[in-house]
Structure 1
């Protein structure tokens, strides 16, 4: 079973522009996000997890308890989220936008070599995927 904790470096996207267009992200924001190549660091300490994503444009860090609700602050909204580990190699984050009731989520699938994050949103017909190579465990 691969470890979830580690450092990962982004290397490609799938359906990224289509997804964020459907969600309502402006053109320039989508292009800048699509060109970024963030590093993601994940630490796990018992039932507490920290996911830190860093790029030239933005640094985001969330520390939360697995299974408990927490808030993620996006540039234009706040999400209410719950994150769980599933099958020892998956992280599932289910989110709701309180202002609209729309649901979105992230599914992280880990292998020995990489992490693939699938992004879903009520407004998007197809999910987006972000691919990260494992740098360290």
Structure 2
């Protein structure tokens, strides 16, 4: 997990609109999500890993999750989904599985070439978000 620790700023995204459609975001939430400057901060608090997402536009908005690897937890997402979520470390990748209302999404984060690549998948939609360490 050490490789993830620190702050990461979003520098590019591909197919994020399709992913937001797949998780059934409203038009207003899609516009909000598409126009954000996003920073993701990984820290550790005892046995828990904390991921804080800060989004900047007209107002600052932040969202945090705290978890132990391999233990399912309730996640109330920044887009208001209530998920049962589990995070696992597999081959150096942080794999997040979210389940809600019969739906399922996966976020796979990996660090390569000093960038964090997040691959978000729901149904047939896959988005790739690229973050640079700050």
Give the alignment's TM-score, normalised by structure 2. 0.86
- How far apart, CA to CA, are the structure 1 residues paired with 2:45 and 2:107? 21
Number of equivalenced pairs? 130
Query: Could you give the per-residue CA deviations for residues 36-69 of structure 1, whole angstroms, max 9, x where no partner exists?
Result: 0111111246752110000125200111111001
Between Structure 1 and Structure 2, which shows a larger proportion of strand residues? Answer: 2
Question: Structure 1 residue 31: deviation in Å?
Answer: 1.7
- How far apart, CA to CA, are the structure 1 residues paired with 2:80 and 2:7? 28
Corresponding residue number in structure 2 for 1:73: 76
- How far apart, CA to CA, are the structure 2 residues paired with 1:33 and 1:95? 18
Segments of 4+ moved more than 3 angstroms: 44-47
8 Å CA contact retained: 2:22, 2:125: no
Cα RMSD over matched residues? Answer: 2.0
Gaps of 5+ in 1: none
Corresponding residue number in structure 2 for 1:129: 128
* Structure 2 residue matching 1:55: 3-state secondary structure: strand
